[in-house]
Amino acid sequence: MKIIKASTENNFKKLNIFFWEMWKKEFNLELENQIDIYKRCDIFFIKEYEIIISAIIYSTYENRNNIWRFGTLEKYRWKWYGSELLKYVLNTYSWNFHLLSDEHQVNYYEKFWFIDTWEKRKVWNTYWINMILEK
């Protein structure tokens, strides 16, 4: 498994489609060009046979370190690709993190020592839980 940092226009285009494909049905999303936003972030991904199977976006916003998009293709979710990617980012950036978790994924992030702040935010048409990790 090789973790790659996005750096080319082609990487950003593929990631734009990857994240849209990941959530288009669940949130009824239209494809938007997020490439310029992605270029201002650190994005790491894993691919298999030229297909992105897991990706994570890290950025600093309002003096907070955020993991603001993270996903793994469904058929790869129980093969630890996403977990390895998350551990890589947490080890690369050794400071406090914030992320928004789907209500059903809180237990997953608690395994990585994220703590539920009990603050809910509405994103698209569902509620997400604000979680923090303090090192």
Q: What is the pLDDT of residues 23-61, one digit of tens each?
A: 776 666 677 778 888 888 899 999 998 899 999 888 877
Given this model, what pLDDT does residue 22 score? 78
- Given a cut of 60, is residue 124 above it in pLDDT? no
Span 77-87, pLDDT tens digits: 878 888 888 88
DSSP per-residue letters across 77-98: GGGTHHHHHHHHHHHHS-S-EE
Given this model, what pLDDT does residue 123 score? 60
* CA–CA separation, 53 and 60 (whole Å): 24
**Which CATH number belongs to the domain containing residue 14 in this structure?**
3.40.630.30
Given this model, what pLDDT does residue 69 score? 81
pTM value is 0.76
Q: Are 51 and 7 in contact (CB under 8 A)?
A: no
Number of separate domains in the chain? 1
Angle at CA 76, nearest 5°, toward 36 and 71? 30
User: Average pLDDT of 116-132?
Assistant: 65
Range of the domain at 49: 4-133
